Structure 1
Amino acid sequence: MTRSMTAFARQEAEHSWGSLIWEIRSVNHRYLEPHLRMPESLRELEGSLREQLRKKLSRGKVECTLRFHPEAQAQQLTVNSEFAKELIAAADEVAALSLSGNTQPMNPLDVLRWPGVLQDAQIDMDQVKAEALKLFGRALDDLIAGREREGAELNALIEQRLVSISEIVVEVRSKLPQILQAQRDNLRSRLEELKEDLDEGRLEQEMVMLAQKADVDEEMDRLNTHVLEVRRVLKQKGPIGRRLDFLMQELNREANTLSSKSIVADTTQCAVELKVLIEQMREQIQNIE
């Protein structure tokens, strides 16, 4: 299923000890680039959160913000004494190794600033962390659903332009015999106007060169092949954006060749219309995962 890289999700949960709010925003990006913002007391969840993102998303710049609002009666602070002792002992051990001989005790304020030393007295932080992970999962599922809905819209827009490209290919093919005949008649008339001996061999040689220059059957075949490939890729599961971007380059290459081989305004106009359609698809594909 086609997924966009642009979406937004928000999930909120109320508990006796407070509330949690997750907001996730994602925009297009060449790779998966997550940015996590959360309270320091919940920072240790970062590894698990990044793992969830890697499992469910492949591309996009993803900004995840967690807000934790404890209930007023649960906002008293207590010191995690065991952790503080371990921190001070580690600081003393490092200070003892100092070549300068500086063994001043660790500043108490520095100890208190260390994440995990101060805790909410009446809150089970393990429960808060578990709920935060669960809520993140729901928010991430909402984000993916939003990306899929927008992806379906992008799919429809691309399909419209693929139909237009196929119609242009049919139009060019139908006009080519008349174009070549008109050019043949024009060349013959110009030679006759010169009142010179008409060398049939030279005339045929000129017509062969003209036909070779105007022969775009190969380009038309490749355009049709690329259109079929784009449709096939759009039905695939998983990330498809880079593959589609490559196919846009190939479609544009054929449109440029058609333009360079054009001998009348009609085919030039068709080449211009092809380039416009391809560019419109390319812009949409930049948002596809």
Structure 2
Amino acid sequence: MTLKSMTGFARTDGTHEQTRWFWEIRSVNGKSLDLRLRLPVGLERLEPRVRARCQEQLVRGNCTLSLAVKRDVGQMEIRLNEAALSEALAVAEQAQKQTLLEPAKLDTLLGMRGVVEVAEPEESEEQREALAEALLAGLSEALDQLVAARIAEGKRLEDVIGAQLSAIDGLVSQASAAMTRQPELMAARLREQIAKLDEAGASLDPERLHQEALLLAAKADIQEELDRLTAHVAAARDLIAEGQPAGRKLEFLAQEFNREANTTCSKAAEIEISRIGLELKSVIDQLREQVQNIE
């Protein structure tokens, strides 16, 4: 099983008796699962069941779910509100007397709010539940599409992250090889500085110089950082291989990668390791951007 992205889109439609419906789901990055539902008036009762279905298949991401429902016009009942029409007519006649303008036309009166009412036919509880089941079945289909889209995007991200982990592994190997030169370079630099001090007539304690040389060597030793970077690469690969939601753990590992790279740069005693440290930071920054998309 591959990683899943948090980015995806799905759209399904269907019909139930005289009702046609459309589900649309959009998903983007999020720290947790944030569901935003847009349900038509009269179908708000579906919200708990919709949320439960989503939580069964999604772990993280900001998801917006929209449901549109269209009823067959032939099933609608159009009613004339006679009381509202009488009031509208009386107001129109009064206005006509005061302004001496032509009286309001019938289509104008019928267009006033409340004069003509459109009512849906009464439904039994069984009919409402049958429609709800059809809508939820359509939601499940949309969620299946969304998960498939997130898996496809996750496969692409897995390839990218795998290449970045390999790049980090390679840079760690380069740093290990370059590190073997550090003691020699530090000793040569220290001898050069001592020679300059001798020329200046400075009096130096050999024992103290030996202690300072050991201290400098210890401060410049990056083996511990390189070992941790190698361990982090292995841990990241294990997380990917598990096929479980790993976004949060990968984000934490990316922070640890960055910490070790920073320490490596600060300890670098020669240009080659400084260069490798900067390349590490660049690759790790790219890794951090990618793992933020993982569920």
Q: TM-score range by the shorter chain?
A: 0.7 to 0.9
- Deviates further, 46-55 or 121-130: 121-130
Determine the C-alpha separation between the residues in 1 that align with 2:78 and 2:277.
Answer: 71
Q: Deviation string for 1:77-113 (max 9, x for gaps)?
A: 79xxxxxxxxxxxxxxxxxxxxxxxxxxxxxxxxxx9
- Kept in 1, the 8 Å contact 2:76–2:120? The answer is no
User: Match of 2:37?
Assistant: 36
- Kept in 2, the 8 Å contact 1:259–1:271? The answer is yes
Q: How many residues align?
A: 253
Q: Deviation string for 1:40-68 (max 9, x for gaps)?
A: 23222111111011111111111110111
- Deviates further, 215-224 or 245-254: 245-254
User: Match of 2:76?
Assistant: 75
Q: Give the alignment's Cα RMSD to 1 decimal.
A: 2.5
Determine the C-alpha separation between the residues in 2 that align with 1:64 and 1:5.
Answer: 15
Work out which of the residue numbers 253, 263, 286 in structure 1 matches 2:269.
Answer: 263
TM-score normalised over the length of structure 2: 0.78
5+ long unaligned stretches in structure 2: 80-116
User: Match of 2:225?
Assistant: 219
Q: Identity of paired residues, percent?
A: 35
> Aligned ranges for residues 231-270 of structure 1 at < 5 Å?
231-270=237-276
User: Match of 1:63?
Assistant: 64
2:51 match: secondary structure: helix
- Kept in 1, the 8 Å contact 2:16–2:134? The answer is no
User: Match of 1:184?
Assistant: 187
Determine the C-alpha separation between the residues in 2 that align with 1:132 and 1:215.
Answer: 64
Shift, 1:204, TM fit: 3.5
Determine the C-alpha separation between the residues in 2 that align with 1:119 and 1:72.
Answer: 9
Q: Does 1:6 align with 2:12?
A: no
User: Match of 1:284?
Assistant: 290
Determine the C-alpha separation between the residues in 2 that align with 1:171 and 1:77.
Answer: 80
Shift, 1:120, TM fit: 3.1
Q: Deviation string for 1:185-243 (max 9, x for gaps)?
A: 23223323434688654553343222112111111000000111011111224321111
Determine the C-alpha separation between the residues in 2 that align with 1:237 and 1:177.
Answer: 38
Shift, 1:126, TM fit: 3.3
- Kept in 1, the 8 Å contact 2:186–2:217? The answer is no
Determine the C-alpha separation between the residues in 2 that align with 1:178 and 1:199.
Answer: 26
Determine the C-alpha separation between the residues in 2 that align with 1:198 and 1:44.
Answer: 86
TM-score normalised over the length of structure 1: 0.80
Which is higher, the Rg of structure 1 or of structure 2?
Answer: 2
Determine the C-alpha separation between the residues in 2 that align with 1:47 and 1:119.
Answer: 24
Determine the C-alpha separation between the residues in 2 that align with 1:185 and 1:199.
Answer: 18
- Kept in 1, the 8 Å contact 2:7–2:27? The answer is yes
Q: Does 1:48 align with 2:49?
A: yes
Determine the C-alpha separation between the residues in 2 that align with 1:184 and 1:122.
Answer: 90
1:33 match: secondary structure: strand
> Cα distance 1:141–1:227, how it changes in 2: closer, same or farther (>3 A)?
same
Shift, 1:281, TM fit: 1.1
Shift, 1:174, TM fit: 0.4
Determine the C-alpha separation between the residues in 1 that align with 2:77 and 2:156.
Answer: 50
